[in-house]
Amino acid sequence: MIDLSAVHIDYQTVLPELVVTGTIVVVLLLDLVVPPDRRRWLAVVSVVGLAIALIASIPLWGQHRSAFADTMAGDSFAAFFNVLLLAVTILTVLISPRYLRCVHLDFGEYYALVLSAAAGMMLLAAATSLMTIFLGIELLSLALYVLCSFSRLQEHSQESGLKYLLLGGFATGFLLYGMALIYGATGSTTLLGIRAFVTSSPGTNVLLLLGIGFLSVGLAFKASAAPFHMWTPDVYEGAPTIVTTFMSVATKAAAFAAVGRIFVATLPSLEAQWYVPLALIAVLSMSIGNVVAITQSNLKRLLAYSGIAHAGFIFLGILPGTTDGLAASLFYIAAYAAMNFGAFAVVTALDAKGEHADELTYWTGLFYRRPFLATTMTIFMLSLAGIPPTVGFFAKLFVFQALVTAHLWIPLIVGILTTVISLYYYLRVIVVMVTVPEGAPVEREGVGLPMTVVVGLSALGTTVMGLVPQVFGWALQATRF
């Protein structure tokens, strides 16, 4: 019998996660009694729960708490990611009911699964132990496996879920094996313990390096970074668009939270050892993502490859191994969340009509049919391409600045060259949208108030986030561990 009385449980640290978990239970129970045509109330309950969790995250800002014997942290870093992840989840839930009704997937479990995934991501962002990292990853992955195959009658969706499950399971194996090796090498599962070991015995420890290598494979898989990105286009394409919207942004953010905690906060002294593999991942992601995206004619696949490329850019900020570099990555993640969520939300809005919206040909002349969606999509594309004054430019600027300060020229050059390449396919989307359509113009129709608000908010965030200096200040403060 283990004596748990000595374990200090700090409820404030885990309050956001607790609230989200509680909401899962409430939603599941409510699902039993809410009549099918009132299921949007589940969305309302979810949003309320998520909003409370968001408010509960804010007091963590500026604190240095830890709970459950140093396995979870309640600090600015966790608060930053909690707010980001919860905001993304709230926006997702807001645009879900209409989409789910349109594609006949209006089931209560959907909300419970999205909330579970969110809880897992928050756990991952706060995790300071190999065990909690694993818990977080599994919680978010299991929920997403189901969500990807949520459209039960669509073969595409089933294929997507299965692919994600099989490959994801494989990656988890790597992750777990790496954790075992690290534990074997250092004798500790908490990041604090590992850090203490690494600083006290500076020699080369093959077991530890192998463990870190395997661990990064698992995390790079979740962040969909090359060369572990193969699943991304297929899964993104097959999954219901709303799920893709959510996971493309939130999963990546959560995975990078763990990457930041492990590499920058725990292992900065081993930077010389992990620099080359991580730089390879970054360079490969940017190159493969941006080059292959050129050939895509399906918008969901195009955005999948673009997401792979952006994972590479986010890795760039990790490379210097400094908290300033990590702050640039954090800003990039927030920027990516705004612009990529917006872009996928536009696809979702068009998909909801049961149209084949993900084929690029469908977007011909969108400006004349859906001026609002086309205009916002233009903003998102410009931002993803990194053109000022959108936030995408500032994100790249801060990351490049970190590389220049650290004199890391080769990743910088690759980053710049691939940015230029990426212009081609992002701008092609805009050109397609302004091309005059053939045949009779289709009637304009609305997309509903929630979608208008959510897309509008994303566009606003994409436009002003870079111009408001405080955001980068927050990213800097979040990395003061």
Q: Nearest distance from residue 120's CB to other proteins, in Å? A: 32
User: Residue 185 CB, nearest distance to other proteins (Å)?
Assistant: 37
3-state secondary structure of 357: coil
Indicate whether 256 belongs to the interface with other proteins (CB under 8 A): no
Of 48, 58, 404, 442, the one binding other proteins (CB under 8 A) is 404
Cβ atoms 217, 256 nearer than 8 A = no
Query: Which residues are within 8 A (CB) of 302 and not within 5 positions of it... i.e. 6 or more apart?
Result: 293, 296, 360, 425, 429
382 binds other proteins per the rule CB under 8 A: yes
Q: Indicate the residue among 8 and 409 with the shorter CB distance to other proteins.
A: 409
Angle, alpha carbons 456-458-463 (nearest 5°): 95
Residue from 380, 400, 425, 426 in contact with other proteins (CB under 8 A) = 400
**Angle between helical axes of 206-222 and 130-148 (0-180°, round to 10):** 30
Asked if 201 touches other proteins (CB under 8 A), the answer is no
Which class for 280: exposed (0-12), middle (13-18), buried (19 or more C-beta within 10 A)? middle
Closer to other proteins by Cβ: residue 231 or 393: 393
CB of 405 vs other proteins, minimal distance in Å? 6
CB count, 10 Å around CB of 84? 26
22, 26, 28, 32: CA torsion to nearest 10: 160
Q: How far is the CB of 285 from other proteins (least distance, A)?
A: 19
Q: Which of 316, 281, 447 is nearest to 386 (CA)?
A: 316
Per rule CB under 8 A, count of chain residues that contact other proteins: 26
Minimum distance from residue 81 beta carbon to other proteins (Å): 20
**CA gap 218, 197 in Å, rounded:** 23
Query: Which CB sits closer to other proteins, 145 or 472?
Result: 472
**Cα separation of 133 and 124, whole Å?**
5
Taking CB under 8 A as the binding criterion, the range among 66-74, 115-123, 181-189, 412-420 that sits at the site for other proteins is 412-420
Q: Which of 162, 387, 457, 464 binds other proteins (CB under 8 A)?
A: 387
Q: Examine residue 430 and tell whether it contacts other proteins (CB under 8 A).
A: yes
Closest to other proteins by CB, 57 vs 418, is 418
Residues that bind other proteins (CB under 8 A): 382, 387-389, 393, 397-398, 400-401, 404-405, 412, 416, 419-420, 423-424, 427, 430-431, 434, 436, 469, 472-473, 476
